Amino acid sequence: MLGATAGSLCLVHCAATPFLFITKACSVGGCAHAPMWWQAIDYLFLGVSFFAILYATRSTTKKWVRTAFWGSWALLLVAILDETFEAGLFFESFFYLPAFAIVSLHWYNHRYCQCHGEPQCTA
């Protein structure tokens, strides 16, 4: 549940960014870049999601969910680094895809992939 909550907050953060900086940054002196403290929130969410995924993948019963979690996290990392260093590898809002995937995977994992003391869950 922590992972789904953190992922949801990450999506809200990502969705709010364009609206906040179009109204604020452009009125103050040009439409430059987001402040460093706002970009640091990206890395905070990335760190929280790492530990949430680490915890979730320890208790999941489906191998493909583990792979999807770490693949989504890796894509999110690359997308955030791409955004930070303006490498231009992805389209502007690409990071929504892996972030949404992480939230969805947390919900799916919580609902369908948890061991509850069954003998087949000893792995």
More confidently predicted of 54 and 4: 54
Per-residue confidence (pLDDT) for residue 66, from 0 to 100: 95
Give which of 11, 10, 39, 34 is closest to 21, Cα–Cα. Answer: 34
- Per-residue pLDDT tens for 21-67? 555 555 455 455 566 776 788 898 888 889 889 988 988 889 999 99
Is residue 2 scored above 80 in pLDDT?
Answer: no
- Report phi then psi at 2, rounded to 5: -60, -45
One-letter identity of residue 91: F
Q: What is the pTM of this model?
A: 0.71
Handedness of CA 13, 15, 16, 17 (dihedral sign): positive
Tokens of 49: 């999601």
What would the pLDDT profile of 82-109 be if each residue is shown by its tens digit? 988 888 888 878 888 998 898 889 889 8
Which H, E and C letters describe 20-42, residue by residue? HHHHCHHHHHCCCCCCHHHHHHH
